[in-house]
Structure 1
Amino acid sequence: MGELYGRSIEGARRRVGSATALAAVEASVRTDGPDAGTRRLRLIAGDLDVELLPDRGLDLGQVRHRGVPLAWVSPTGWPRPGASGFGAAFGGGLVTTCGLLSFGPPSVDVEGEHPQHGRYSGLSASVVRAEAGHDAVVVEAVVVEATVLGAHLELRRSVRLPLGEGRIELRDEIVNRGSREVEPMVLYHVNLGWPLVDAGTVLRSPAESVRARDVAAEAGLSSWAEFPEPSARYPEQVFAHELPTDRRVSAEVVAASGFGIRISFDTARLPGMFQWRVAQEGGVVLGVEPATAPTILGRGDARARGLLRPLAPGASWELGLDIDVIEIHP
């Protein structure tokens, strides 16, 4: 177990009047603006201050460590699900979940129409637990993606913040509640922004090789690992990272100061990883995106390449990742 402000967890608890000084879950509802009526959960766990978005599938919004923002948040914010198209509603945040049946560009198949990056971030969660416990802050929720007489997937999500460790543990169980086999696709869109991301910030990848998605990315392929100086216009670049199989791996995003983020996951469950980079003034963002299939070209490409994995009725997948705040000294 970690420490809080130079004391053991137990020692810190003996020195405060209310335990909410160290750990808390605070619920609120937005009362105005484009996201009026949407729910927020604020998790406080020592140095970590985490915003959860129940009306976005319990995704993670802004996250601060000792007051420093870690996530990139787009100017759209998080309007109510379905209020506008993808480009006007992608709020970013530390984790945007893409799926549960598709990620990548829009597509159509036997499961119906799939919007860009799927429907998940437009689904509301039912929160079943929100607790600031003795050693961790934990929120659990259930999200359902279903159609009439079609696919019926249930995702059970847990977000856990161990006290004193600067870590976010995100765990998902996806259960096929339907009567027929389905093929889920899930991508965790981890969005990091300034001041963590700036000129000289380095991405340390577990990849065995890295390739560009398109011509715009080809122009930056030789320098994919180091974030460039922001400019007035910078085309979006996406790189595919070829990962070792069946291993626990970590990707690290480290600023010049040595402050950084480590994203850890299992390639047996998330064999793909993509990097999204925009070095544009007013939009500095670096995305690290572990995924259940190593394609960024959508469901059709995944099917053509045999990358979709079937999930039988009643069966489940366990997915997730850990996000740690790190400090690397020379």
Structure 2
Amino acid sequence: MSNRWVLSEYDITSPYEQPAPFLKAAKQHGLSVTHTRLFGGRRDGVELLTVQNGDFSFTTIPTRGMSIHQAKHGDTRIGWDSPVEGPVHPQFVPLSDPSGLGWLDGMDELIVRCGLESNGAPEFDAETGRLKYGLHGRIANQPTEDVVVEVSPDGEMCIRGEVRETRFLCYNVAMKTEIRTKAGENGFRIRDRIINRAAQESTAQMLYHINMGAPILGEGASVVCPVTQLCPRDARAVEDVDTWSIYKGPTAGYAEQVYFMQLAADDNGDTCALLKNAKGDQGVSVHFNVKQLPYLVIWKNTAAEADGYVTGLEPSTNFPNPRSFEEKNGRVLKIAPGASYEIDLGLQFHPDAASVESMESKIAGLTEGKDATVHSTPQSDWCN
């Protein structure tokens, strides 16, 4: 195919050379992609693909499970400043750290997937105390295989690849992913297909940790979503449940607050959530389907800038509790041998007040005539 660039087929002596027909097809639609490899420190060996689509650009990391490292529209950054200062190569992320928190050593991205075997809090064996499942799983620290970039005749660029989470005699699941953006689009769309490669039924979980900081996040910023049911995760979240949707400015010593919720959707199951700045003239919306991702988690971590001033909008198949708790409450996917589970996710930037207002109107339409239940305390079947 003339509009195809297979990264695994490049000559090692010229790894960044793109086929001329592919370059021509991309340029025709005002698209481009740059392949780079980082050197030195904890970034050493990390490969990046940066897509430029007019004023909008984004960077994905094949080395880290095809996460989205950051995006940008003009001078506006869409992402956050993590004290980790990545992207960090997975070889420097100690997933087996006895604390269960080793995953945090690499947390730096705009969008990072949590899963596949588990996606929540660390869990330990009750008898031995040994770690069973580390925080947020392994998929974000697995390399992407068979990466291909294509440009369609109508001007849509697609990055494809497969990420495998396997352990002999234990687990054998893969994720085929596509990241798409069309010429002139201020955003991108992701389609992930979780495939059970084993000869027996397998289980999976998935959560999309979508992290945003300044300049969109700031004092007075807010999240807008069509809530039907919401509860605070714990006593700390209870403290501000009445103002769960409003953000503080950077606050030294701030302890995270987390809210679990379900959202209203249209007849097809499509829904969205919006983070907008205090002025309401810029925002980022997240789009997903409640038949695939039935829950949304809002993570508020408005700590000092040096400690990682950030919020997370996190669509998920379940709540990020220990895996055994979620399994007990029926929130673990069961996938038959050779079968798959498909997920669609989109992120769009809103550059002006009119675009933000339009998205707010769409969200308001989803909840018209529907009452929201906001619990003042954690619910026993939602919160561990």
Q: Is TM-score (shorter-chain normalized) higher than 0.5?
A: yes
Aligned 1:206-225 pairs, distance under 5 A: 206-225=226-245
Say if 2:259 is the partner of 1:239.
yes
Quote the Cα distance in structure 1 between the aligned partners of 2:92 and 2:178: 27
Displacement of 1:78 after TM fit?
2.5
The equivalent residue for 1:292 is: 317
Deviations 1:85-110 (A, max 9, x none): 4365233322100001111112268x
The range that moved more, 240-249 or 259-268, is: 240-249
Equivalent in the alignment of 2:219 = 199
Moved over 4 A (4+): none
State the percentage of identical aligned residues: 26
1:280 aligns with 2:303: yes
User: 1:134-162 deviations in whole A, cap 9, x for unaligned?
Assistant: 51221101111111022211111000111
SS at match of 1:217: helix
Q: Quick one: structure 1 residues 113 and 60, their matched pair in 2 at CA, closer, same or farther if it must change by over 3 Å?
A: same
Residue 29 of structure 2 contacts residue 183 of structure 2 at CA under 8 Å; is this kept in 1? no
Aligned to 2:335: 311
Bigger drift between 147-156 and 242-251 goes to: 242-251
Question: As a proportion of its length, which structure holds more helix?
Answer: 2
Structure 2 regions of 5+ residues with no counterpart?
A: 1-23, 95-101, 126-130, 358-384
Matched, 1:144 2:164: yes
Q: Distance in 1 between matches of 2:54 and 2:324?
A: 44
**Aligned to 1:126, which of 138, 141, 145?**
145
1:95 is aligned to 2:72 = no
**Match of 1:302, SS?**
helix
Q: Is the counterpart of residue 255 in structure 1 residue 282 in structure 2?
A: no
Separation in structure 1 between the aligned mates of residue 103 and residue 195 of structure 2, nearest angstrom:
30
Give the whole-Å Cα distance in 2 for the aligned partners of 1:247 and 1:271.
9
TM-score of the pair, normalised by structure 1: 0.89
Distance 1:87 1:101 in 2: 14
Gapped runs of 5+ residues in structure 1?
1-15
State the match for 2:76 in structure 1.
68
The equivalent residue for 1:153 is 173
What amino acid is aligned across from residue 156 of structure 1 in structure 2?
K
Residue 180 of structure 1, CA deviation: 1.0
Counterpart position of 2:48: 40
How does the TM-score come out when normalised to structure 2? 0.77
Q: How many residues align?
A: 311
Q: Is the 8 A contact 2:217 2:277 kept in 1?
A: yes
Secondary structure, in 3 states, of the residue corresponding to 2:334?
Answer: coil
- Is the 1:62–1:73 contact (alpha carbons within 8 Å) kept by the matching residues of 2? no
* Contact residue 25 and residue 137 of structure 1 kept, 8 A: no
> Is the Cα–Cα contact under 8 Å of residues 72 and 285 in structure 1 kept in the other structure?
yes
CA–CA distance in structure 2, aligned partners of residues 84 and 319 of structure 1: 27
State the Cα RMSD in Å: 2.1
**Relative to 1, partners in 2 of residues 1:180 and 1:322: Cα closer, same or farther, differing over 3 Å?**
same
Question: Secondary structure of 2:211's partner?
Answer: strand
- Structure having the higher Rg: 2
After superposition, the Cα gap between the structure-2 partners of 1:21 and 1:271, relative to the gap in structure 1 and judged at 3 Å, is closer
What amino acid is the match of 1:93?
A: E
